Amino acid sequence: MKVEFIRKDFGSVSADLLVVPCFKAKIPAWVHAELVKAGVGKDFIGEKGRYYLLPVKGKPYKRLMLIGLGKEKNVGLDDFRLAAAKAIRGAKGPRLANVAFLLDFNGATRHSEKDVAAAMVEGALLSDLKLEPYKKKKEGGRKIEKLLLVSKMDLASMVEEGRILAESQNYARLVAVEPANIMTPRKLAGVARELAKAYGFGFRVMGRSELEKKGMAGILAVSRGSVQEPVLVELKFNDGKKLPHVVLVGKGITFDSGGISIKPSKGMEMMKFDKCGAVVVLGVMRAAAEMKFPLRITALLPATENMPGGSASKPGDIIRMYNGKTVEIVNTDAEGRMILGDALAYANEAKPELIIDAATLTGAMMVVLGKQGIGMLGTDHGAMKEMYDCGLETNERVWELPLWKEYSEMVKGDYADLKNVGSESGEAGTITAAAFLREFVGSTPWVHLDIASVEWNDGSSGYFCRGPSGKGVRLLATFLKKWSKNKKK
């Protein structure tokens, strides 16, 4: 879908459909006049979630769609995203190819019209994506070719920002949906190489032999049961420039069977999505390049499969990680923290101002926050406060969990420096996983995002279809934009 902003009066907009968001009991007079003309003056008052489609005559737009937002005082930015999604889906039924959104609220909304413009673009584009790459017969109606955003104000920059964020998130979703037989660790490295070529990133991939030379035993231990070669991918944006430096680390388990500590068969097909941390980081890198962030960003993507086999790591094995700490592998299904540990220790060597990692790390997140939020832990409380605010803005919400010293005691090993699970009963599983990771970041400020419970939608809801959500892309990109501005002050 092509997105375009035009600054003009809506009355001269040529489109198949003009969409007008309306607050409850605050219907614009000209809209009410159209309803009265059609003989349905009392049928629509702007109730939240309701839309009304009207044919019109003598106008450059062929139809009028009214989208209810509810009472203005209760309307958040995400309600605009949801309204845009409803409009796009509603437009596909009548097969309307060119859709225009009217963004003139005459000061009625408590949100800036710039933020509303970005949110509506995001909702439209995120809802337009269908994750059906291998279906012969595609579902859904005709594709919408063009989305026009119309206002008397100059909203072009925020329309463009909304487009970049949504398209970067959709990019991540398309990579994430690929199955494990296609999206192997090497293939994921190839995707990163293509992104690097498109945006001029520095690119490097370390294969098994280099990982062995460097002593990245965490990544190697997880990979031992698989025929697929493990990799550590490194991307660099604005490399060499004198700019604030942040390192993003994304967990890239392209398939997780659990290894010797094998998972139950039910739902195991979902484990192709254990690469979503790495995929989210790729989406953020795309957004950073398109939005030209004044930052130096390094992305590290440790990627491997976790499979059982004759050479697989076994419970009780002890290995020496990249930073020299020894780890007893108590449970081979606690593999994400092993590959992240090596990558975080490697990131720490660069001495960046901040390290952020994103990972589908613990099933315990579903217990902690359900599907509504991302678990956040770390050592940089200023960055975490900013991340929290960005989560509210993007509706990719985060909640900080504690990292008290008792949790670090729980991952101390009996036969090695550390053990890779805090408790076999699962006590404080999300927190002890983060406590394990903290052992590898040194004194560098660090934020950990456990995205395990938010990266998959069981069915179509809001502005997402069934499948991977890409949540974390808009959150992190918005955070980095604001963090870079704060660094300038």
Active site residue ranges: 263, 337
- The Cα 454–Cα 138 span in angstroms is 26
Reduced to 3 states (helix: H, G, I; strand: E, B; else coil), residue 66 is strand
| Two tokens, residue 429 | 């599983």
Q: What is the DSSP string of 400-420?
A: E----HHHHHHTB-SSSSEES
Of 171, 135, 452, the residue nearest 288 (C-alpha): 171
- The Cα 252–Cα 233 span in angstroms is 10
Which residue is it, tokens 């974390």?
A: 472
Under DSSP, the state recorded for 228 is S
Residue type, 274: D
Tell me if 180 sits within 8 A of 267, measured CB to CB: no
Residue type, 264: P
Of 193, 357, 365, the residue nearest 281 (C-alpha): 357
CA atoms within 13 A on the CB side of 457: 17
| Two tokens, residue 162 | 């909304």
Of 403, 388, 383, 396, the residue nearest 487 (C-alpha): 383
Residue 44 β-bridge partners? none
Reduced to 3 states (helix: H, G, I; strand: E, B; else coil), residue 299 is strand
- The b-or-e profile of 200-235 (16+ CB within 10 A means b, else e) is ebebebbeeeebeeebbbbbbbbbbbbebbbbbbbb
What phi and psi, each to the nearest 5 degrees, are found at residue 163? -65, -45
Tell me if 288 sits within 8 A of 295, measured CB to CB: yes
Residue 288: CB atoms within 10 A of its CB come to 26
Give the Cα-Cα-Cα angle 304, 306, 312 (nearest 5 degrees).
110
Which H helix or E strand runs over 76?
none
Dihedral angle sign, alpha carbons of residues 280, 283, 285, 291: negative
